[in-house]
Amino acid sequence: MPLPNLETWMWTEACETVDRAERLHRQFFRPAVMNAKRPMWEPPIDIYETSCEFNVMIALPGVAPEHLDVLLEDGFLVIDGHRRLPTSTESYIRRLEIPYGQFKRRVELPAGRFEIYTRVFENGCLLITLRKT
């Protein structure tokens, strides 16, 4: 079995590390809206498209569906909400890796007209299906 090219391997590892760092920065440190009064986090998303639909899957563990707003605004799908910390008075935090607080995610839509067709919240993920009109 031939050995992998060391330079190619190092470059691939470096690019993957940068991708992971950018994803962490976007999720935890970058305000979603630069003029926001308080910091917000951006939940990760997957986007896939069919000939009739545009689907956005957004990871929202621990977020109650009633704490979510979804709307179409000037060519963007906007998901806005809040994840609360557990409210146990007899515990203290040992580790906090899942972000909490206000979040906002703006997804630029491709050219065309869309309407929100379904919103399904299951297993900590929100699947938003936009129908192309």
| pLDDT tens for each residue of 39-77 | 788 899 999 999 999 999 999 999 999 999 999 999 999
Q: Which residue has the higher pLDDT, 14 or 72?
A: 72
Q: How confident is the model at residue 3 (pLDDT cuts 50, 70, 90)?
A: low
Q: Which residue has the higher pLDDT, 112 or 27?
A: 112
User: Is the separation of the CB atoms in 130 and 75 below 8 Å?
Assistant: no
Q: Which residue has the tokens 């146990």?
A: 88
As a whole number, mean pLDDT of residues 2-14 equals 79
Instruction: Pick the most confident of 34-48, 88-102, 118-132.
Output: 118-132
Q: Which two tokens stand for residue 34?
A: 């630069």
Mean confidence (pLDDT) of the chain: 85
Range in 15-19, 55-59, 63-67, 81-85 with the lowest mean pLDDT:
15-19
* ∠ CA 70-71-74, rounded to 5°: 145
| Domain 31-132 in CATH 2.60.40.790 | yes
What is the Cα–Cα distance from 112 to 20, expressed in whole angstroms? Answer: 32
Give pTM, 2 decimals: 0.72
Q: Where are the domains of the chain?
A: 31-132
62 dihedral zone (left: phi>0; alpha: psi -120 to 50; beta): left
